Amino acid sequence: MQLTRRSTLTLAVAAALTLAACGKKEEAAAPGAEASAAAASGNVVKIGFAAPLTGPQAHYGEEYKNGVTLAIEDANAEKPVIGGLAVTFELVAEDDQADPKAATQIAQKFVDDKVNGVVGHFNSGTSIPASKIYSDGGIPMVAMATAPAFTQQGFKNTFRSMTSDTQQGSVMGKFVVEKLGAKNIVIVDDRTAYGQGLADEFEKAVKAAGGTVSKREFTNDKATDFAAILTSIKAQNPDIIFFGGADAQSAPMAKQMKRLGIKAPLVSGEMTKTPNFVKLAGKEAEGTIASLAGLPLAQMPKGKDYETRYKTRFNTDVATYSPYGYDAARAMIAAMKKADSTDPAKYLPALASNAYTDGVTTSNWAYDDKGDLKDGGITVYQVKNGDWVVLETVGGGAAPAVAASAAQ
């Protein structure tokens, strides 16, 4: 009987231990639920973004980022399903400070973090070195970079969201000679990949159109005092002065040109065609001419709607780059949907070959075999009464336009 009681006690203890063990197993199931949640979070599709978000070019990067943000919010509102799974797109934004070294570090971080694609970088000088890292990591990138070299490296993962400097420079070179009647032209560039590249293409087009480049000067993308350069240029008595660079330099240059009594207008590219240039240059902005890729916002296929929604979302006006950031992100997402996969290797061919036909900036967002936009228009603007007004639009699906007078 005593033996039986001991056996009963032993069985009771064993049962208690078993129940305790079962309880522990049930508690251990909680991490399994977390694992399921983690697996579900694998349906988050990360879109990397890199641009200058601090420093003198931060206004470019912030507006660019806003466009990408709006695109991702719109895509998520559509409740996308890719590969049979409901997915959520997430923006992972980094500040490359317009610095090539910072850009390459960010690129490596994005590769290590296995982002699904990258919209950016903004500058040609950051996009070009970063593109090698993305190419090695197999990650598609759609950059704002306009330097021809960006898509001439032979990488299959590089795409633009604007026309190249080859297109923009050729339009502007021809415009100043044939429409403005300029024959004696001086060129200044900031020696960045963007500024020098645009100036080089502009010079080629000027010469092809019969104009003469009488002087070529250079500065840097940190300079604000151009007195020595402009004094030297004034002696050339140029018909126009072309500047390849950003508004942080072109604005003080415009002011100093007027103070030195230089009558020639300043002509530049899209990094000058900004509200910030007009703000910085003040009344000396009058008469400045600049080109910008694509159609004017009001003429874009969905420009009016975008303008309204952008201002509602960010409480500010569209400046220059955000519609292109929007379309870049949407084109990338459209390629994922077309391929039914967020795997970069699987959707890359769709991005390269499949036209995105529902864009803000164009209804024919399609790439050639290098990653350049096939149908990129150029619009020429001039500052009049403190605002940028259209002089002429070339290509991009625009109807033939009669240029307004560029006379000051």
pLDDT digits (tens, 9 = 90+) for 366-402: 999 999 998 777 999 999 999 999 999 886 544 334 3
pLDDT digits (tens, 9 = 90+) for 157-185: 999 999 899 888 989 999 999 999 999 99
Q: Binning pLDDT at 50, 70 and 90, where does residue 3 land?
A: very low
**Whole-number pLDDT of residue 317:** 96
Q: Does pLDDT of 39 surpass 80?
A: no
Least confident of 109-123, 132-146, 289-303, 393-407: 393-407
Assess whether 326 and 272 both reside in one domain: no
pLDDT digits (tens, 9 = 90+) for 259-304: 999 999 999 999 999 999 999 999 999 999 999 988 999 999 999 9
Mean pLDDT for the stretch of residues 15-22:
39
Mean pLDDT for the stretch of residues 251-255:
98
Assess whether 73 and 199 both reside in one domain: no
Mean pLDDT for the stretch of residues 208-214:
96
Q: Is residue 15 part of a domain?
A: no
State the Cα angle at 106 between 306 and 61, rounded to 5°: 30
Assess whether 236 and 145 both reside in one domain: no
Q: Is residue 112 part of a domain?
A: yes
**Structure tokens of 384?**
């009049």
The model carries a pTM of 0.83
Q: Is residue 28 part of a domain?
A: no
Assess whether 155 and 181 both reside in one domain: no
Assess whether 87 and 159 both reside in one domain: yes
**Whole-number pLDDT of residue 395:** 61
Q: How far is CA 201 from CA 95, 189, 194, 375, 383, in A?
A: 29, 12, 11, 19, 23
Mean pLDDT for the stretch of residues 316-343:
97
Assess whether 140 and 244 both reside in one domain: no
Assess whether 245 and 320 both reside in one domain: no
CATH number at residue 93: 3.40.50.2300
Assess whether 261 and 388 both reside in one domain: yes
Q: Is residue 13 part of a domain?
A: no
Assess whether 110 and 65 both reside in one domain: yes
Q: Is residue 341 part of a domain?
A: yes
Range of 201's domain? 166-292+379-394
Q: Is residue 10 part of a domain?
A: no
Rounded to the nearest 5°, which phi and psi values hold at 144? -85, -10
Q: Which of 37-46, 249-258, 349-358 has the highest mean pLDDT?
A: 249-258
* Closest-CA residue to 46 (of 95, 119, 98, 104): 119
**Structure tokens of 108?**
């490596």
Percent of the chain scored above 90 by pLDDT?
81
Q: Binning pLDDT at 50, 70 and 90, where does residue 364 land?
A: confident
Assess whether 57 and 82 both reside in one domain: yes
**372: buried, middle or exposed (CB in 10 Å: 19+, 13-18, 0-12)?**
buried
Which residues sit opposite 186 in a β-bridge?
215, 241
Q: Does pLDDT of 355 surpass 90?
A: no
Convert the chain into a string of H (helix), E (strand) and C (coil).
Answer: CHHHHHHHHHHHHHHHHHHHHHHHHHHHHHHHHHHHHHHHHCCEEEEEEEECCCCCCHHHHHHHHHHHHHHHHHHHHCCCEECCEECEEEEEEEECCCCHHHHHHHHHHHHHCCCCEEEECCCHHHHHHHHHHHHHHCCCEEECCCCHHHHCCCCCCEEECCCCHHHHHHHHHHHHHHCCCCCEEEEEECCCHHHHHHHHHHHHHHHHCCCEEEEEEECCCCCCCCHHHHHHHHCCCCCEEEEECCHHHHHHHHHHHHHCCCCCCEEECCCCCCHHHHHHHHHHHCCCEEEEECCCHHHCCCHHHHHHHHHHHHCCCCCCCHHHHHHHHHHHHHHHHHHCCCCHHHHHHHHHHCCECCCCCCCCECECCCCCECCCCEEEEEEECCEEEEEEEECCCCCCCCCCCCCC
**Amino acid symbol at 294:** G
Number of domains in the chain: 2
**Whole-number pLDDT of residue 66:** 98
Assess whether 197 and 170 both reside in one domain: yes
Assess whether 389 and 253 both reside in one domain: yes
Q: Is residue 25 part of a domain?
A: no
pLDDT mean across residues, the chain: 88
Q: Is the preceding peptide bond at 59 cis, omega within 30 degrees of 0?
A: no
Residues 6+ apart with CB under 8 A from 17: none
Q: Is residue 373 part of a domain?
A: no
Q: Does pLDDT of 138 surpass 60?
A: yes
pLDDT digits (tens, 9 = 90+) for 43-72: 999 999 999 999 999 999 999 999 999 999
